[in-house]
Amino acid sequence: MAQAKTLSTSELRRVLAYVAAHPHADRNRAIVLMSHWAGMRAKEIAALRYCDVLTPSGAVKEEIHLSAEQTKGRYARTVYIGGKLQKELAAYVRAVPSKSAEAPLFPTQKCPTRGFTANTLAQWFLQLYRKAGIEGASSHSGRRSYLTTLANKGTSIHILKSLAGHRSINTTAVYLYSSPAQLRAAADLI
């Protein structure tokens, strides 16, 4: 099976523009950005509750601690939330407040008291990318794009491994995409 497409900045902008023009834009933008700016898996995003993301005073946390039940492989991990994503999540929470800290962060349109399942969110990503005109993208595209972008900015593979929640650097290495332009530039370093 082919790896999920790594999105360029312009492709991510295209997806976000598509989201902005359709129903549930606040929710959908936050979901896409959790994937692209925090490297979260669909399962992890689907499992989030307001209390996972907000402090008791209502501020967006800098770190989201995922339990073993919320992750692939059943290993607890910490997701670090950068300043840009914190602002986006704060805007989302203002637009879509919850009456309960235990409520799903991203409720479905059919049943607002329930969140997505991992499978329905993975299918949602496939449909979103297809409708936005991005071929080859899947629920893992945001995660691959996140790790590749950080690697291209000089982040060490040891840091990437921790950010991804991987147990092996070999797993992390599979996520990283090298474009032909990057390969040519590397060859020119000699």
Q: What is the pLDDT of residues 28-78, one digit of tens each?
A: 999 999 999 999 999 999 999 999 999 999 999 999 999 999 998 889 999
Residue 1: pLDDT over 80: no
Range of the domain at 180: 143-187
CATH number where 45 lies: 1.10.443.10
- Of 115, 135, 155, the residue at which a domain comes to its end is 135
Question: Which residues make Cβ contacts (< 8 Å) with residue 158, sequence separation at least 6?
Answer: 169
In a domain, 2, yes or no: no
Is residue 54 domain-shared with residue 125, that is, in the same domain? yes
In a domain, 4, yes or no: no
- Residues of the chain above pLDDT 90, percent: 79
Which tokens belong to 12?
């991510």
Predicted TM-score (pTM) of this structure: 0.93
Residue 183: pLDDT over 90: no
Residue 40: other Cβ atoms inside 10 A:
29
